[in-house]
Amino acid sequence: MRFAAFRHRCCHVLTLVALLAICAQAFAQTDPLPSWNDGPAKQAIVAFVRATTDQSSPTFVPPEARIATFDQDGTLWVEHPMYSQVIYCLERVPAVVKAKPELAKVEPFKTVLSGNREAMAKLSMKDLEKILVATLTGMSVDAFNAEARKWLDTAKDPRWKRPYTELTYLPMQEVLKYLRANGYKTYIVTGGGQDFVRVYAEQTYGIPPEQVVGTAGGTTYGYAKDGQPFLTKEAKLLLNDNNAGKPEGIHLMIGRRPYAAFGNSTGDRQMLEYAKAGDGARLSMLVLHDDATREYAYGPAQGLPATRVGTFTQALYDEATQRGWVVISMKHDWKRIFAFE
Amino acid sequence: MRFAAFRHRCCHVLTLVALLAICAQAFAQTDPLPSWNDGPAKQAIVAFVRATTDQSSPTFVPPEARIATFDQDGTLWVEHPMYSQVIYCLERVPAVVKAKPELAKVEPFKTVLSGNREAMAKLSMKDLEKILVATLTGMSVDAFNAEARKWLDTAKDPRWKRPYTELTYLPMQEVLKYLRANGYKTYIVTGGGQDFVRVYAEQTYGIPPEQVVGTAGGTTYGYAKDGQPFLTKEAKLLLNDNNAGKPEGIHLMIGRRPYAAFGNSTGDRQMLEYAKAGDGARLSMLVLHDDATREYAYGPAQGLPATRVGTFTQALYDEATQRGWVVISMKHDWKRIFAFE
């Protein structure tokens, strides 16, 4: 009898241990954001998803209305010290000059060809625009896509020595997947070139071309000699997808107000305002680059100098507090930053 | 024994009858296009779906690339004798004049207010443009959506005495559903106003706002007195989604070439060319309005006068033949035209 009772008690203990193990495993399996430290940022994301997808929630959102928008540079991947698309354009200059040799003697192409990095860093916005127009327009859509794809397959970031498309933030990739698993359509809404980002967004983020909204130029429809039609990229700007251009671009391309929006700079301010101003549960979040060791720390909100890339000003910080946006500290909220770490 | 043999034979016959009944039922259940007569148009649609979705097909298309685009007016619903959006704009004129009384004495508003249908039918394109600008812009996106929805809920087509949203073609609704059931994303690509069509597309066609591409104006982001942001519809044209504007709009808003495209007039020509020029199996189709009894017959291809609405010219007919597009005869290919019949 004593043995039986012992065995019985053992069974109970074993059952308890097994249950605990199963629970722990289940918890580990179901934590949708494993690269996030527990804290207000992670909690805000989980609470938002519950509030909008639980049928019994007073702020339940029907699946077809679940839209979430993400800035790209500095929000989904590294933008410092220079947007990768700008690097692409600078590296395309020799090929452009080869096709149009008269440009070799003209600024800003002369400076870019010199390879003098110090001089290149001082190029004005107007000079940069000339480079963007020369390297991104005047060719067919298919030719542009092929060139951009070739560059993305070979170019490497000088600090991590990896393709730019590997420099995406693992915690944000988890947010994208978590939202999609809960019925959200995820969009990129970027100041970067719409056509450029569309080349890699599907493979890199699981976001198809039609869910990439970006700075967009016009195209012109025409015919090749054999009668086959094709589109040519023109220098005409249709949408400057920065600042007020972000909600305007969202209206043009999506036609609904997002329930969640993610950014990292003053260029995302209006998008975050627009998302948060809707009724029901809304989530606006800002990534703060405060991790000089694992990534970068920059922006006036930390008393650091403004850079060419996204600026997180004190005014933006204040608006975030006032309007109830959640600031994500890369240093404190993110357990891991990159998948390759 | 004889009785047993008889019973046995009976059993066989009964089994056969039962099998036939089941087969017939299964066929009826699985015919995805029951409102289509069997013929080259229906066969082309079914063959296209098989060729692009059967894993063993050499022209198999991965699900994420399955895009199909549909013109709306005259392709998905009735456009004759006048686009319903134009009727909406004309009927909005009194309210616009009430808010801006100075317009009452100015053309073309004076003519519209007179109610003289003969004079209204003679308004020039420039006059119509003035009416579109006055009735579709200068208000917030939310105010416009509310007005359009109210009108759609109450306005009725004079011939069928039904809401305009009931005048969709049942055979085309079946094509939309059939393509979606086979993994296609269905888009409307319309010369009509993008914001207008987005108001009812989801309920009417199962097509969400973000899958409506149309003629689009700019918006301006601003703030109300209480600090809440909102978008105002501006008179600035961003995309004229007709003719070459259709493939250009598809590139802007979708970023991929459609595998199938459906239209009914010269305004759809470039979209059909663009879809058909891609590699693999492609489907371009044109709806021909040749049913004066059940709907309308119009367009120069039938020796009938050109109308204000979509024109099916002889040149378009010739191009269809030359490029391998399939013409859908409303009269011969469609068993039923409307769901309410």
Q: What pTM, to 2 d.p., does this model score?
A: 0.91
Task: Provide φ and ψ at B131, rounded to 5°.
Answer: -70, -40
Q: Best residue in A139, A212, A231, A232 to probe B by mutation, most B CBs within 10 Å?
A: A231
**Mean pLDDT for all residues in chain A:** 92
Q: Of all residues in chain B, what percent carry a pLDDT higher than 70? A: 89
The answer on pLDDT for B202 being more than 80 is yes
The answer on pLDDT for A149 being more than 90 is yes
Instruction: Reply yes or no: is the peptide bond before residue B163 cis, omega within 30 of 0.
Output: no
Note the pLDDT of residue B300. 73
A195-203: average pLDDT: 98
Note the pLDDT of residue A5. 53
Chain A partners within 8 Å of B247 (Cβ): 221, 229, 231
Q: Best residue in A188, A210, A276 to probe B by mutation, most B CBs within 10 Å?
A: A210
Note the pLDDT of residue B2. 55
Note the pLDDT of residue A100. 93
Chain A partners within 8 Å of B270 (Cβ): 221, 229
Work out the angle at residue B283's Cα, subtended by the Cα atoms of residues B279 and B287, and round it to the nearest 5 degrees: 150
Residue of B nearest to A272 (CA): B229
Helix H, strand E, coil C: the string for chain A is: CHHHHHHHHHHHHHHHHHHHHHHHHHHHHHCCCCCECCCHHHHHHHHHHHHHHCCCCCCCCCHHHCEEEECCECCCECCCCCCHHHHHHHHHHHHHHHHCHHHHHCCCHHHHHHCCHHHHHCCCHHHHHHHHHHHHCCCEHHHHHHHHHHHHHHCCCCCCCCCHHHCECHHHHHHHHHHHHCCCEEEEEEEEEHHHHHHHHHHHHCCCHHHEEEEEEEEEEEECCCCCEEEEEEEEEEECCCCCHHHHHHHHHCCCCCCEEEECCHHHHHHHHHHHCCCCCCEEEEEECECCCCCCECCHHHCCCCCCCCCCCHHHHHHHHHHCCEEEEHHHHECCCCCCC
H/E element, B87: helix B84-99
Query: Does the predicted interface ipTM exceed a cut of 0.85?
Result: yes
Chain A partners within 8 Å of B185 (Cβ): 210
Q: Of all residues in chain B, what percent carry a pLDDT higher than 90? A: 82
Please judge whether B221 and A141 are an interchain contact, meaning their C-beta atoms are less than 8 angstroms apart. no
The answer on pLDDT for A14 being more than 90 is no
Residues 63-122 of B with CB under 8 A from A: 64, 67
Of B208, B228, B229, the CB nearest to A64: B208
B174-193: average pLDDT: 98
**Mean pLDDT for all residues in chain B:** 92
Please judge whether B210 and A254 are an interchain contact, meaning their C-beta atoms are less than 8 angstroms apart. yes
Handedness of CA B36, B42, B43, B47 (dihedral sign): negative
Pairwise CA distance, residues B322 & A227, whole Å? 12
pLDDT tens-digit series, residues A31-58: 999 999 999 999 999 999 999 999 999 9
Q: Best residue in B139, B203, B221 to probe A by mutation, most A CBs within 10 Å?
A: B221
Please judge whether B216 and A185 are an interchain contact, meaning their C-beta atoms are less than 8 angstroms apart. no
Chain B partners within 8 Å of A194 (Cβ): 252, 255
Q: Give the closest-approach CA distance of B340 to chain A in angstroms.
A: 27
